[in-house]
């Protein structure tokens, strides 16, 4: 039963809570999904109060070469012949009652999506959450020297004017689906509105992307009317862009590609402003 895997060990009090979720794995390019949740958790002083137990949601033993199967297995640490740590996937909820925010950081499940959804929406029902935001990313043809494009998908037509007013574009996509899309299709059945915010990260940049994380944190803070001190994020984003530009400039072919991406980006912005 899904209820058996949702463990709530504290009952914080909220007035009108909003849930913001992030997942590792799919749609976490540049660590935008997980990075945004971690930063919001830190900035809001949110405390862990519930979790979804991992049993039945993940594949641990996958057939194939070690390089492939290693991606599925739990992480362990052995020192001096003794097992010091054995880490299973975590799916944790963090409460920031003063800001009316619940944060969720998890790993996209491999199995039993319906039961996983029941756990998440079960917590929404328990604490009166009516709006769920997902934050994530996808790679695309954007330059690292510009702010990332933000795309949005929603569970209800009535939500579109709200996000159109922020200049957020609406997604057009067909292809492999994530747990987030599945949750969005179920949201209205569970009396919840769901919004998916996806930043486009440069396809040529590997690893964490502080600039895109900064942009997403600021967007979420604006949508939820959160007063946060984010100067450190901006400084990290500026330093990241500067160092990456230095690397790009050492590779003429890549520098030419980035210049073309900048021109395309700027022309698109100009065209949108003129229409």
Specify the CATH number for the domain of residue 163.
Answer: 3.40.50.10900
Q: Is residue 157 part of a domain?
A: yes
Find all residues with CB under 8 Å of 165, minimum gap 6, and list them.
none
DSSP label of 138: E
Q: Which two tokens stand for residue 100?
A: 């009316």
pLDDT tens string, the chain, 275 residues long: the values are: 567 899 999 999 999 999 999 999 889 999 999 999 999 999 999 999 999 999 999 999 888 888 888 888 899 999 999 999 999 999 999 999 999 999 999 999 999 999 999 999 999 999 999 999 999 999 988 999 999 999 999 999 999 998 888 888 999 989 999 999 999 999 999 999 999 999 999 999 999 999 999 999 999 999 999 999 999 999 999 999 999 999 999 999 999 999 999 998 888 765 555 45
State how far the Cα of 16 lies from the Cα of 192, in Å rounded to an integer: 13
Q: What is the pLDDT of residue 166?
A: 84
Residue 162 inside a domain? The answer is yes
Structural domains counted in the chain: 1
pTM for the model:
0.92
Residue 63 has a pLDDT of 83
Residue 153 in any domain: the answer is yes
User: Scanning the structure block, which residue is given the tokens 């299709």?
Assistant: 185
Query: What is the predicted pLDDT for the residue at 274?
Result: 45
- Paired with 199 in beta bridges are 137, 150
Give, to the nearest 10 degrees, the angle between helix 252-274 and helix 231-249: 130
Domain range spanning residue 168?
2-54+89-274
Q: 């929603």: which residue's tokens?
A: 154
| Antiparallel, parallel or unpaired: β 150-154 and 47-52 | unpaired
d(C-alpha 254, C-alpha 258), whole Å: 6
Query: What is the structure's pLDDT at 109?
Result: 96
Establish if 62 belongs to a structural domain: no
Residues 6+ positions from 260 with CB-CB distance below 8 Å = none
Q: How far apart are CA 146 and CA 76, in angstroms?
A: 39
Q: Is residue 150 part of a domain?
A: yes
Give SS3 for 154: strand
Q: Is residue 76 part of a domain?
A: no
* Sequence-ordered strand ranges (E) for the chain: 6-8, 18-24, 47-52, 75-79, 82-87, 92-96, 101-107, 131-140, 150-154, 169-170, 193-202
Is 65 inside any structural domain? Answer: no
Those residues whose C-beta lies under 8 Å from the C-beta of residue 261, and which sit 6 or more positions away, are 141, 142, 143, 202
Rounded CA separation 249/159 (Å): 43
**Residue 204 CA from chain centroid, whole number:** 20
In the numeric block, the tokens 């899904």 are attached to 2
Give how far Cα 99 sits from Cα of 17, 37, 193, Å. Answer: 8, 15, 19
What pLDDT was estimated at residue 66? 82
On whether the CB atoms of residues 127 and 134 are closer than 8 A, the answer is no
Q: What is the reported pLDDT for 267?
A: 85
Asked whether the beta carbons of 137 and 33 are under 8 A apart, the reply is yes
Residue 149 in any domain: the answer is yes
């Amino acid at each position: 039963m899904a209820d058996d895997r949702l463990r709530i060990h504290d009952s914080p009090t909220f007035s009108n809570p909003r849930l913001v979720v992030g997942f590792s794995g799919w749609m976490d390019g540049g660590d935008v999904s997980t990075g945004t949740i971690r930063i919001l958790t830190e900035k809001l002083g949110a405390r862990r109060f519930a979790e979804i137990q991992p049993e039945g949601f993940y594949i641990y033993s996958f057939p194939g070469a070690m390089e492939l199967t290693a991606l599925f297995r739990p992480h362990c640490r052995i020192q001096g012949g003794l097992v010091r740590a054995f880490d299973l996937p975590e799916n944790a909820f963090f409460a920031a009652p003063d800001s009316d925010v619940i944060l969720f950081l998890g790993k996209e499940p491999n199995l039993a999506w319906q039961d996983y959804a029941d756990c998440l929406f079960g917590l929404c029902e328990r604490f009166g959450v009516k709006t769920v935001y997902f934050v994530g990313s996808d790679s695309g043809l954007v330059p690292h020297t510009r702010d990332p494009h933000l795309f949005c998908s929603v569970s209800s037509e009535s939500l579109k004017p709200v996000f159109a007013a922020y200049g957020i574009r609406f997604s057009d996509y067909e292809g492999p689906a994530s747990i987030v899309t599945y949750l969005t299709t179920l949201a209205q059945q569970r009396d919840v509105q769901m919004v998916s915010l996806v930043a486009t990260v440069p396809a040529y940049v590997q690893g964490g992307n502080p600039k895109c994380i900064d942009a997403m944190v600021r967007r979420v803070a604006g949508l939820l009317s959160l007063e946060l001190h984010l100067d450190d994020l901006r400084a990290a984003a500026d330093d990241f862009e500067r160092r990456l530009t230095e690397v790009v400039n050492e590779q003429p072919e890549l520098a030419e590609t980035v210049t073309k991406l900048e021109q395309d980006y700027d022309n698109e912005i100009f065209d949108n402003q003129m229409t």
